[in-house]
Amino acid sequence: MNETIIFMGTPDFSVPVLRALHENHEVSMVISQPDKPVGRKRVLTPPPVAAAAKEMGIPLFQPERIGDFEAVEKIREMNPDIIITAAYGQILPKELLDIPRLGAVNVHASLLPRHRGGAPIHRAILEGDRETGVSIMYMAEGLDSGDVISQSAVQITDDDNTGTLHDRLSKIGAKLLLETLPSILDGTNDRAPQDPAEVTVSPNIQKEDEQLDWTRDARAVFNHIRGLSPWPGAYTLLDGKRLKIYGAAKPDGSTAEVPGTITGISERGFTVACGDGRAVEVTEVQLSGKKKTDAHHFAAGRQDLTGTVMGQVD
């Protein structure tokens, strides 16, 4: 029996999941977000999942709002056995969740119930987690609140940033879905309710989340830089201009300087004092209006850098 499968996803994270699904099962339709203007020239560009669906020859549907009557009815007419989502980006209404015979399942990039919400990968690093993973879960009306079917854990190392962790979790999610899906399709899968006492919420990154606070301890600053790299990027102020910081080394050494003070030039960049008397070594930066560069090259062109206090407006 060939089940009718609808896949819903939008960003890069979802593409390996879709590819793995397409290689092992027949995907009847892909639903993704509408094309959007990108770049300075505002070129209308399909999201990664939409582009991948076109490449694979899978029928594609890109409604503005998945909860609109026309979108729900289009899906109802397909009579899907199952809906599989991975970072689709819109909340699915109950009337849509009730359509598939086998329910709707989601590939979520955390070990639920920790990090429900839209930025589980960023927040795992920002909050200093040592472990995260992927959960395959049934979708419910609440935010990532459905029963968990399966999980796969992975360690977060000091060498990870959001980009590297994102890529690992995407591959893990694709593998875990393939391992879990047969039991869902034949009705033999496990399901476990999430413990409400263990729930944490990880909302999307906002502009106010991006500015570094050098008064925090060095480990928190280090995690902040890694957690927002390579997107959207943490920033500080240097001589009144935004300086985005994309790379940092593990905190080391001590300093008595005021937090935010550039304490010296290093082989990989420059060091900055933090609130706990330790320093973070900055390794990759981008000054407003300039290209991204390694911090050592940036520092070499500024002889007056040592002693400057960042995070202040002149």
Domains in the chain, please, with CATH?
5-198 (3.40.50.170), 209-300 (3.10.25.10)
pLDDT of 183 reads 97
40 or 172, which is more confident?
A: 172
To the nearest whole percent, how much of the chain has pLDDT over 90? 92
pLDDT of 92 reads 95
SS3 annotation, the chain: CCCCEEEEECCCCHHHHHHHHHHHCCEEEEECCCCEEECCCCEEECCHHHHHHHHHCCCEECCCCCCCHHHHHHHHHHCCCEEEEECCCCCCCHHHHCCCCCCEEEEECCCCCCCECCCHHHHHHHCCCCEEEEEEEECCCCCCCCCEEEEEEEECCCCCCHHHHHHHHHHHHHHHHHHHHHHHHHCCCCCECCCHHHCCECCCCCHHHCECCCCCCHHHHHHHHHHCCCCCCEEEEECCEEEEEEEEEEEEEECCCCCCEEEEECCCCEEEECCCCEEEEEEEEEECCCCCEEHHHHHHCCCCCCCCECCCCC
CB neighbour burial string for 226-237, b if at least 16 within 10 angstroms, e if fewer:
bbbbeeebbbbb
Residue 24 identity (one-letter amino acid): N
Residue 245 predicted with pLDDT over 80: yes
Q: Identify the band that residue 314 occupies on the pLDDT scale cut at 50, 70 and 90.
A: very low
For residues 151 and 172, give the distance between their C-alpha atoms in angstroms, rounded to a whole number. Answer: 10
pLDDT of 313 reads 55
- The token duo for 8 is 């819903």
Residues 80-97 have pLDDT tens digits of 999 999 999 999 999 999
Q: Identify the band that residue 39 occupies on the pLDDT scale cut at 50, 70 and 90.
A: confident
For residues 267 and 280, give the distance between their C-alpha atoms in angstroms, rounded to a whole number. Answer: 13
Residue 279 predicted with pLDDT over 90: yes
From 252, 238, 243, 245, select the one nearest 280 (Cα to Cα).
252
* Average pLDDT of the residues in 154-158: 97
pLDDT of 252 reads 81
Residue 147 predicted with pLDDT over 50: yes
Q: Identify the band that residue 111 occupies on the pLDDT scale cut at 50, 70 and 90.
A: very high
Mean pLDDT rounded to a whole number for the chain: 96
pLDDT of 199 reads 98
CB neighbour burial string for 97-113, b if at least 16 within 10 angstroms, e if fewer:
bebbebbbbbbbbbbbb
pLDDT of 40 reads 84
Query: For the whole model, what pTM was predicted?
Result: 0.96
**Residues recorded for the chain:** 314
